[in-house]
Structure 1
Amino acid sequence: MIDTVILQQGTGWRAQAEVFDEIFFVFLALGTLIGTIVISYTLWNVYKYRDDGGEPKDDFDAPVVGELPTGQGGPKAKKLFLSFGLSAIVVISLVVYAYGILLYVEEGPDTGDEGDIEILVEGYQFGWEYEYPNGHTETGEMIVPADQRIDIEVTSRDVWHNFGSSELRIKSDAIPGETSSNWFSVSSEEVEAQGGEATYMVECFELCGSGHSAMKGQITVIPQDEWEEWYAGTGSENGTENSSNIGGAAAGGVPA
């Protein structure tokens, strides 16, 4: 229920990158607004209560070093508790908002039994191998459809690695003998914006040896129908070969 209320998704769902972008925007906008108000109010008080060389007014309630307002009246106490109350409301609201939306990121959207694709990601010195549900493997390039949740199980065959894509906001440890789970999704609108084929760089974020800096890969996202045609071809006799030239598949062809 908290996901529906906070994300206002109804039956739809969003990619991790969109969620993290929203969190960043909310904190940036709110921080900018509150910062502007606080700085403006501080500068106004600096000007209002500046020392102009004259005698202070009889009703001027000057602050005293070490004094703490008791809350029993007076302008200082009212301002203190008003600012504290407003700050508490803002902070608690942000905590509840961020916690709920990060739960969604951690658990992922509930898509039922339809559409989920699970891919085993195995790191090695110095590259990435991807195994699909039908046993087909790709080296260096993960090819997935748009508008679907892609579940990944990440592991390693030798040393510690870390599989991640900054653009997709995903990052998972690759540890020998263990697996870590993650998910991502790319919308068809994003694929169309990139000319019918969206590509995202994959990097290793764990120092894993002399070739660590060159341990890069790619996630290629193509329309659903084109991906289904490509995936059907991976079950053929030649389907287990590495088809790194997805450009042909994106154009409607099936890789050999």
Structure 2
Amino acid sequence: MIDPIILQRGSDWRAQAEVFDEIFFVFLALGTLVGTIVVAYTLWNVYKYRDDGGEPREDFDAPTVGELPTGQGGPKAKKLFLSFGLSAIVVISLVVYAYGLLLYVEEGPDANEESDIEILVTGYQFGWEYEYPNGHTTRGELVVPADHRVNLDVTSTDVWHNFGSSELRIKSDAIPGETSEVWFAVSSETVEEQGGEATYRVECFELCGQGHSAMKGQITALPQDEWEEWYESTGGDSENSSNVEGGVSVDDTASVSHAAVGGVPA
């Protein structure tokens, strides 16, 4: 099991995107290394034991089709079981390593009621509505703070949808009458790298009707202080609900662009 301390350092959690990128890099690097060694060793044996047209040596122990080249404990057996042993060590190590990281992605970092944010995500034909803890709702755009675990409760009002963001490596079914859960986090370093406001595309990954291809949205991550200023301005008043461009309404008309307060969507 991977030590949770490796995955979360205080409140600096590892986002799913970072975890999946690391798994991909490790598998790619190790696969390239092992593949290079195997191919190089195979080519060396092809050259060493090539047919040069001469008579085979008397001590040459040719392999027999359908039989393991054990050689009764000779060099062939050592090479065979050595390769099996090394392969088993590599595969088992990768399984344990990846399983520990995937458990972290599944369960998420330790919950913290003071800093965690829980948002209700409701899919409809054809868009997304987000309801914040104070009752404020937005359509099309989800605004979250950096360095916080954001818990999403995902559901639907009509048909099956699937809420997801490829960049954040999150996906969750949106089923009428049921609620599925998913979490994500965006680091402040990532927000700074994107100029103080990190944006991620949201899509529906379940064919849900004629407007499915237009059922898009956006996740915007802001620095903590800017998000708090934006959140306080919402006041929990349902009349402050805002819409951003993205998604199609029931009558297939595009949603209007959102208003902005001090450059921050409200």
The SS at the match of 1:164 is strand
2:154 corresponds in structure 1 to: 154
Output the CA distance in 2 between the equivalents of 1:180 and 1:42: 49
For residues 134-149 of structure 1, the aligned pairs below 5 Å read 134-149=134-149
User: Which deviates more, 150-159 or 51-60?
Assistant: 51-60
1:26 corresponds in structure 2 to: 26
The one-letter code sitting in structure 1 at the alignment partner of 2:116 is D
The SS at the match of 1:177 is coil
Output the CA distance in 2 between the equivalents of 1:237 and 1:135: 7
Deviations 1:176-203 (A, max 9, x none): 0001100001111111111111111000
The one-letter code sitting in structure 2 at the alignment partner of 1:177 is G
- Is the 1:226–1:250 Cα contact (8 Å) retained in structure 2? no
Output the CA distance in 2 between the equivalents of 1:84 and 1:48: 22
Output the CA distance in 1 between the equivalents of 2:7 and 2:157: 41
Pair 1:221 & 2:221 matched: yes
1:118 corresponds in structure 2 to: 118
How far does residue 241 in structure 1 lie from its aligned partner after superposition?
Answer: 2.5
The number of aligned residues is: 253
- Is the 1:233–1:254 Cα contact (8 Å) retained in structure 2? no
List runs of 5+ in structure 2 lacking aligned partners: 245-256
How far does residue 243 in structure 1 lie from its aligned partner after superposition?
Answer: 5.8
1:190 corresponds in structure 2 to: 190
- Is the 1:129–1:137 Cα contact (8 Å) retained in structure 2? yes
- What is the percent sequence identity of the aligned residues? 77
How far does residue 13 in structure 1 lie from its aligned partner after superposition?
Answer: 2.2
Pair 1:65 & 2:65 matched: yes
The SS at the match of 2:57 is coil
Pair 1:77 & 2:80 matched: no
Structure 1 ranges of 4+ moved more than 3 A: 7-12, 69-72, 236-239, 243-251
- Is the 2:121–2:131 Cα contact (8 Å) retained in structure 1? yes
- Is the 2:141–2:219 Cα contact (8 Å) retained in structure 1? yes
Output the CA distance in 2 between the equivalents of 1:242 and 1:249: 12
Output the CA distance in 2 between the equivalents of 1:32 and 1:190: 29
Give the superposed CA RMSD. 2.0
Q: What TM-score does the superposition give when structure 2 sets the normalisation length?
A: 0.89
Deviations 1:8-47 (A, max 9, x none): 5443421110000000000000000000000000010000
Output the CA distance in 2 between the equivalents of 1:217 and 1:61: 67
CA separation of 1:125/1:221 partners in 2, compared to 1, >3 Å: closer, same or farther? Answer: same
User: Which deviates more, 238-247 or 100-109?
Assistant: 238-247
- Is the 1:229–1:254 Cα contact (8 Å) retained in structure 2? no
